[in-house]
Structure 1
Amino acid sequence: MKIISGVSQKNNSYDAVYDCIRNMATEQSAPNLILCYFTERHNKETIISTLKSQFPSSKIHGCTSCQGIMTDQGFADDHSIAVWGIFDSGLGCYGTSISQFVSHYDIESLTIHLLEEAIKDSGREGELPSLVLLHATSGHEEKIISVIDTFFGSPVPLIGGTAADNHNQGLWSVFTQDGCVKSGISISVFYPSCKVSYSFHSGYAPSNVSGIATKTDQRTIYEIDNRPALEVYKEWTNMSCLLNKKTNLLENMAQYPFGRIAGYMYDIPYFKLAHPTKITNDGGIECFANIYEGEEVFVMYGEKDQIISRPQRVIDSATNFKQEKFVPIGGINIFCAGSMMHIKSSMLDVCDSVNAAMHGAPYICPFTFGEQGRFTGGENAHGNLMVSTVLFHN
């Protein structure tokens, strides 16, 4: 089994794809699955059609990424594209599926349909996959994950990232070899001939203040402890000067997300985060994750140094901190776009630390508007400002 990655910052999408796949093209067989991520300035139709023409038998899956992509070859910003191919000549099988959101399907029915289609596409019907990869557009990730867990009966490890654009303007998309949609769900199932390890972390610390969400509407929080949420948030963060209805909070508020307890490990809570993205016209704080009435919400805090070192810690967690005995074949990392923008000047340092943790093995890492993964306690979840990692190893 072999994994190959490639990255390019050429402006022409056709040239950039060929730049990325030149190492894959030298292999005697085509990759079983190609993952591809690119920024909004690239032409998605050109990218998908070029990959399909070069590797007609390969499955393809990916989404748009915010302001860049990271691989073992470095951090590429602005006009970038990256690919990642898995060559599994053993018993490995892979399947994909995709659909736009359609009126005659509710989210549950659509997700079940896509899972069935992806498993059928893999040729491994009746077997549990080792991994599910989810790329969707923003809005329904929690429901999709719940349906995936119910479908399999017991949680199958999950990794995923919500499609992103450069400035939260809706210029995102998800795609497979069967097409590209601006609003929908795409799924891949993995039956690799190797082992899979995973980790999912926030890397943020809770402050000493919290409250109960007393009025919410899906991803908008209106009241905390029966007080206006914006008023409470200003008190908690001392960020009044940056908070107004015209502010895009995506970059400014990566340091102070809301946190909800996702579970406990040895009586110590771990958290899933919700990233404030804007102030709504009716005075709410809109996030990239659902917050439910009755939930305790903490204001979380992330120092830049902690955010910079976090991806390496997540990889170390996936290896059970036995780095000297662990040599991965390759991996997939999902990194929050808001966190990346918060530490963008230090992304080369992040890349160096990830490369060291990966022992130089190839990986790919888009920057997304929501991250999905499996916590140490076994729960699959959706959050913001998170890092999710999957490692493939013998």
Structure 2
Amino acid sequence: MHVRSAQSGATNGATALQDIAARLGLSDGPRPDFLALHFGIGLSAELLHDLAHDLIGGQALHGGSSCLGVMGRDGIELGGAGLGALAIWDPAGSYGTASAALGADAGAAARAAALQALQRAGRPGEMPEMVWLTVAPGREEQVIEGLRPVVGPETMIVGGSSADNEVSGDWRQFGPDGVHRDGVVVSVLFPSRAIASVYQSGYTPTPFGGLVTSAESRKLIQIDGRPAAEVLHEWSGGAVPMAGGSARSILADSTLWPLGRETRLLAGVPFHLLAHPATAHVDGSVDLFADVAVGDRLWQMQGSANSLVARAGRVAEQARDILRAPVGGALIVYCGGCMLAVRDRMDEVRAGIVAALGDVPWIGVFTFGEQGRPVADRSRHGNLMISCTVLAGPDD
């Protein structure tokens, strides 16, 4: 198994993909068995899809948009375009990709895409080592639940929700058969070498917490019988504002003050899955980027620029150690909200990853929701999270 990565800062899609093809050696060598393309929305997803499909065919082509651009071994592209690619050559392994519009039933769409991806991999009815997932923001929990009956409850589901630059709905996803605005892309990976993934956040719990007493999916209405916006404002020491006379975006204000749900204790240490507050409403309810339910216990979490900068390298280091083999390549998912909060320090984030992984091919995508598997748990959807998935290098 061989892994290569490539990046381009070209603002024209055709030029960017030509750069990628040249750097990956696609024009004069064998086609990769899997190709992931992640890009800023300054590039046309339709054009990238069509050109990439011509390059490698339609069995395992996976695409998704990323906030402002991408990062990787070769640098950081945050100009609004930016294209990153990770390619795998693995004749002894099996890979397949499919996509579907989410439609009225996101779980059913995910199941259909997973079944088709397994067919394309030539492994119908089998459990892949990992699913690489790209999905439109909004119904990620339904997508994960839809995947489980097909890929198995223990399979790693790792990836990120596609993103744009301003949370305006301009995100894109594509599989071999076409491009979506509100879709899901599922790639099943049966690599011939080892794979490992770590999924964490850079936040710690404060002493403040309470029970959800009223909620509707991603609308948090009350905590301990009080309006949610009022509670968040109080817990954060006023850092997260309330709505006032009209609904108010609190996305940026709450980036360092999200909510956490304790999902698992490991050696007495809790793992918190984060939910990012997005909008405070006049009635005191708060819209989130993740589902909550009545009875959930929420904790006020707190982060800092330093914690967000340092965490990616630590996550990469842990994934490297778990792999117990030389790293051949990696896929990094780094929350787009976290990236925007530390945008002027992303060189440090990248440096931490390079220090952990060494001089190996990797790309990183900036997402509006992250999926991964916490230690000793099933795969889940959260916000403001980071994941690092590493693949072992060749035997030689």
Normalised by the size of structure 2, how large is the TM-score? 0.94
Find the aligned partners of 2:390 and 2:142 in 1 and give their Cα distance: 26
Shift of 1:243: 4.0
Q: Does 1:370 align with 2:369?
A: yes
Alignment of 1:1-394 (within 5 A): 1-25=1-25, 28-56=29-57, 59-103=60-104, 106-239=105-238, 242-244=241-243, 245=246, 247-280=248-281, 282-320=283-321, 326-394=325-393
* C-alpha displacement of 1:326: 4.5
- State the alpha-carbon separation in 2 of the partners of residues 231 and 197 from structure 1: 41
Q: Which amino acid aligns with 2:12?
A: N
- 1:240, distance to aligned residue in structure 2 (A): 5.5
User: What per-residue deviation string (whole Å, max 9, x for no partner) do you get for residues 139-178 of structure 1?
Assistant: 2211221232333443101111011110111111111121
Q: CA shift at 1:291, angstroms?
A: 1.0
Distance 1:215 1:60, change over 3 A: same
C-alpha RMSD over aligned residues: 1.8
Deviation at 1:250, TM superposition (A): 2.6
Is the Cα contact below 8 Å between 1:203 and 1:306 reproduced in 2? yes
**Superposition deviation, residue 16 in structure 1:** 1.4
Residues 1:36 and 1:347: Cα distance change in structure 2 (over 3 Å): same
Structure 1 residues without counterparts, runs of 5 or longer = none
List per-residue Cα deviations over 1:158-205 (Å, max 9, x = no partner). 111011110111111111121011112110000111100111102210
- What is the alpha-carbon distance in structure 2 between the residues aligned to residue 10 and residue 86 of structure 1? 19
Stretch deviating more after TM superposition (269-278 or 234-243): 234-243
Deviates more, 1:347-356 or 1:136-145: 136-145
Q: Deviations over 1:4-42 (max 9, x none)?
A: 211122221211111222122355211111111111221
Q: What is the deviation of 1:92?
A: 1.2
Contact 1:327 1:358 in 2 (8 A): no
Q: Does the 8 Å contact 1:159/1:389 carry over to 2?
A: no
In structure 2, what is the Cα distance between the partners aligned to 1:154 and 1:223? Answer: 32
Q: CA deviation at 1:281?
A: 5.3
Determine the C-alpha separation between the residues in 1 that align with 2:106 and 2:166: 27
What percent of counterpart residues are identical? Answer: 28
Q: Distance in 1 between matches of 2:360 and 2:145?
A: 32
| Mapped partners of 2:193, 2:344: distance in 1 | 36
* TM-superposition CA deviations, 1:207-263 (whole Å, max 9, x none): 001011111111111111100111111111123674434543332321000000111
Secondary structure at the aligned position of 1:320 is classed as helix
Counterpart code for 1:257 = P
**What amino acid sits opposite 1:102 in the alignment?**
G
Q: For the Cα contact (< 8 Å) 2:66–2:367, is it kept in 1?
A: yes
Q: Distance in 2 between matches of 1:13 and 1:148?
A: 32
Aligned residue identity for 2:22: R
CA contact (8 A) 2:239 2:253 kept: no
Q: In structure 2, what is the Cα distance between the partners aligned to 1:358 and 1:151?
A: 32
Contact 2:111–2:150 (8 Å) recurs in 1: yes
Matched pairs, number? 390
Contact 1:230–1:284 (8 Å) recurs in 2:
yes
Q: Distance in 2 between matches of 1:78 and 1:257?
A: 27
* 1:280 to partner: Cα distance: 3.4
Letter in 2 for 1:288: F
More deviation, 351-360/51-60: 51-60
Equivalents in 2 of 1:176, 1:118: separation in Å?
Answer: 10
Cα distance in structure 2, aligned partners of 1:40 and 1:239 = 34
Q: Secondary structure at the match of 1:376?
A: coil
Could you tell me how far 1:113 is from its partner in structure 2?
Answer: 1.6
Confirm or deny: 8 A CA contact 1:52 1:58 kept in the other structure: no
